[in-house]
Amino acid sequence: DARVTQTPRHKVTEMGQEVTMRCQPILGHNTVFWYRQTMMQGLELLAYFRNRAPLDDSGMPKDRFSAEMPDATLATLKIQPSEPRDSAVYFCASGFPNSGGEYNEQFFGPGTRLTVL
């Protein structure tokens, strides 16, 4: 049963510390998305990649957030320095084109719950 995996599942850190979240997309999926979920903002897109190339990171605070795909099996989201307002659940999702070349489903990982004190 192929699944998107995310590590860590929970992270508690102090303000100013670096946080790295990792995602392993489903094998064969060529598009990876990072979403953030908060009570106030709901679910919002931070960034996404296709074939490891960043296509849209307009949802990310550029001064402290960075997203990369070192290889096809790993996506990372880093926050440096972290702030209390970054406390949220961060989801990774992956997708692939159907026979018509359309992406009509994203598969979500279990999320990383981040708490910044």
Partner 1 sequence: AQTVTQSQPEMSVQEAETVTLSCTYDTSESDYYLFWYKQPPSRQMILVIRQEAYKQQNATENRFSVNFQKAAKSFSLKISDSQLGDAAMYFCAYSGGSNYKLTFGKGTLLTVNP
Binding positions for partner 1, rule: CB under 8 A: 31, 33, 35, 42-45, 48, 55-56, 89, 91, 93, 95, 102-108, 110-111, 113
Tell me how far, at minimum, the Cβ of 2 lies from partner 1, in Å: 14
14 versus 44: smaller Cβ distance to partner 1: 44
Q: 42 Cβ partners below 8 Å, 6+ apart? A: none
Count of CB atoms situated within 10 Å of the CB of 88: 22
At 63 the three-state DSSP class reads coil
22 versus 103: smaller Cβ distance to partner 1: 103
Tell me how far, at minimum, the Cβ of 81 lies from partner 1, in Å: 26
Q: Do the beta carbons of residue 103 and residue 31 sit within 8 Å?
A: yes
At 68 the three-state DSSP class reads strand
Tell me how far, at minimum, the Cβ of 21 lies from partner 1, in Å: 14
DSSP letter at 85 equals: G
Tell me how far, at minimum, the Cβ of 64 lies from partner 1, in Å: 21
